[in-house]
Amino acid sequence: MNASYRKIVSLSSIVLFTLHAYAQPKPLHIKDMLSLVQSAQPQMKAYAAQAQSTQYGVGLAKNTLLPDINIGYQAGYATYNNVTGMSYPGLILPISGPPVAGNIYDPVPGTAAGAILKWNPLTFGQRSAAVEKASAQYKLANSTYNDALFRQQYAAVATYLDAVYLQKLIQTYQANIDRTKAGLEQSLVFTRQGLRPGIDTTQFQAALAQATTDLLIVQRQYYAQITELTRLTGLPDAPTNILLADTSLLSQLPLIADTTAGPAGNPVYQYYQMRKEVTASALKEVERIWRPKLDLWANAYARGSGVKADGTIDKADGWSLSHKNYGAGIQLSFPILQFSEVHLKKKQYQAMVKADEAQLDQVALNLQKQKEAARYNYSQNMLITKQAVVQSQAARFAFDGLQLSYNSGLIDFTRLIQGQYDLLKAETGEAAAFLQAWRSLLDIAVANGQLTTFTDNLK
């Protein structure tokens, strides 16, 4: 055995060792992977938290039914003229009139403590519109999450299929290496016996080096694909610790392809439908702006003033809460001059609703055409796969015959290696055909908006 051959065998052993490393991990099924995308993927956790945050908006809109009560204490130093009525706004309702007719600018103290209540029990539909809008926004956030989850799960399944295909190619290229090594060993025997020229051995060595290189390239691609799969699923495991369990995909065809589902269940359609509902609820909220507002208020407070009733100054009395006051009332207001503004906003949101309805119709049309194309591709790929299986079997029989002819001295190296190449091409073509058949089924599942269309075909 010469040095070149020993190097090739050594390199092939490294490849086999690498393949053995891939065979040690825990199995990963597609159905389990879909659950991992939902529970372990950090990006999906972010979408879920964002959706959860909008739920509190519904509670906030409903919370406006509760009255608003504020209590507090304040002390101040103000001019003699209006100390009895000067206070920080918001807590103490103002009273009218200065204690004296003239202007006296000497500062005197004043204090106040009280509680003020404001309640809007009746909003003429404005509160219900705000609750409806908040609910629609929550539904939109959920549909955004569902759409993102569906896209992430689709990407994971597509990546899984590509990884299974590359794993099949690894096996195919390894079988090609075994065939080349067998031919090399046979040529060495024939060369020593003088039945074959030495050039055959050199050509087999070159073919073995190329076959090994092809395998290394596919292994690199497989590693990258598994790395992407762990990213999409949120798995912390190293790529070498992942074993694809659903490898029978590339040896069997799907049994059924449901194409009867309408667009209503598709997450993309639901997202645009929720967008339209949010816009429609916003329009309803705008329409109710131009309605009266009813406010109920009540105020109870005690105050102290440095100015007595007779006009004399008593600063000590200004720091005590010597005068008690209370009051209650009702206020009905109507925004008369907002009619023009509300009218323009209504026109604006009505146009936005029409735009959302048109967009929803376009999404339904897109999904229908996507399903039609996927259904046609599925039927064509099923037929192509059946022909690929026939071609692969014929190429395998042809290579077996060529190998016998080469060993019998009836053909040369060129004819044998061409048959071996045709077999490799047919085997990889068969794997690619199965991949495309399952991919077209996945496309139908995407158009349906239901990945169960795909997963129900898994065994």
Residue extents of the structural domains in the chain: 3-62+127-284+341-455, 67-125+293-339
- What is this structure's pTM? 0.79
pLDDT of residue 105: 64
pLDDT of residue 319: 79
Distance CA 319, CA 112 (A): 9
pLDDT of residue 103: 61
DSSP β-bridge partners for residue 298: 117, 328
Residues 378, 433 contacting (CB under 8 angstroms): no
Q: 214: how many CB neighbours lie within 10 A of its CB?
A: 16
pLDDT of residue 79: 64
How big is the CA angle at 434 (ends 433 and 437), to the nearest 5 degrees?
90
Residues 403, 416 contacting (CB under 8 angstroms): yes
Angle formed by the axes of helices 126-192 and 3-22, nearest 10°: 150
Distance CA 448, CA 32 (A): 21
* HSE of 380, CA atoms in CB hemisphere, 13 A: 8
Which pair of tokens denotes residue 114? 């009280």
Distance CA 43, CA 57 (A): 22
Distance CA 301, CA 91 (A): 9
Residue 129 C-alpha from the chain's centroid: 30
Residues 130, 103 contacting (CB under 8 angstroms): no
pLDDT of residue 14: 45
Q: 67: how many CB neighbours lie within 10 A of its CB?
A: 13
| HEC assignment per residue over the chain | CCHHHHHHHHHHHHHHHHHHHHCCCEEECHHHHHHHHHHHCHHHHHHHHHHHHHHHHHHHHHHHHCCEEEEEEEEEEEEHHHCCCCCCCCCCCCCCCCCCCCCCCCEEEEEEEEEEEEECCCCCCHHHHHHHHHHHHHHHHHHHHHHHHHHHHHHHHHHHHHHHHHHHHHHHHHHHHHHHHHHHHHHHHHHHCCCCCHHHHHHHHHHHHHHHHHHHHHHHHHHHHHHHHHHHHCCCCCHHHEEECCHHHHHCCCCCCCCCCCHHHCHHHHHHHHHHHHHHHHHHHHHCCCCCEEEEEEEEEEEEECECCCCCECHHHHCCCCEEEEEEEEEEECCHHHHHHHHHHHHHHHHHHHHHHHHHHHHHHHHHHHHHHHHHHHHHHHHHHHHHHHHHHHHHHHHHHHHHHHHCCCCCHHHHHHHHHHHHHHHHHHHHHHHHHHHHHHHHHHHHCCCHHHHCCCC
Distance CA 205, CA 192 (A): 16
* HSE of 349, CA atoms in CB hemisphere, 13 A: 18
Fold type of domain 3-62+127-284+341-455: Outer membrane efflux proteins (OEP) (1.20.1600)
Total residues belonging to the chain: 459
Distance CA 69, CA 166 (A): 68
Which pair of tokens denotes residue 335? 């925004």
Which pLDDT tens digits describe the chain residue by residue (459 residues)?
A: 444 444 444 444 444 444 444 445 779 999 999 999 988 888 888 989 988 899 898 888 888 888 888 888 877 776 666 555 556 666 666 554 445 555 666 777 777 777 888 888 888 888 888 899 999 999 999 999 999 999 999 999 999 999 999 999 999 999 999 999 988 888 887 777 766 666 888 888 999 999 999 999 999 999 999 999 999 998 888 888 999 999 888 989 988 777 777 888 899 999 999 999 999 999 999 988 888 888 888 888 787 777 776 777 777 777 787 777 778 888 888 888 778 888 899 999 999 999 999 999 999 999 999 999 999 999 999 999 999 999 999 999 999 999 998 888 888 888 999 999 999 999 999 999 999 999 999 999 999 999 999 999 987
pLDDT of residue 172: 96
pLDDT of residue 389: 96
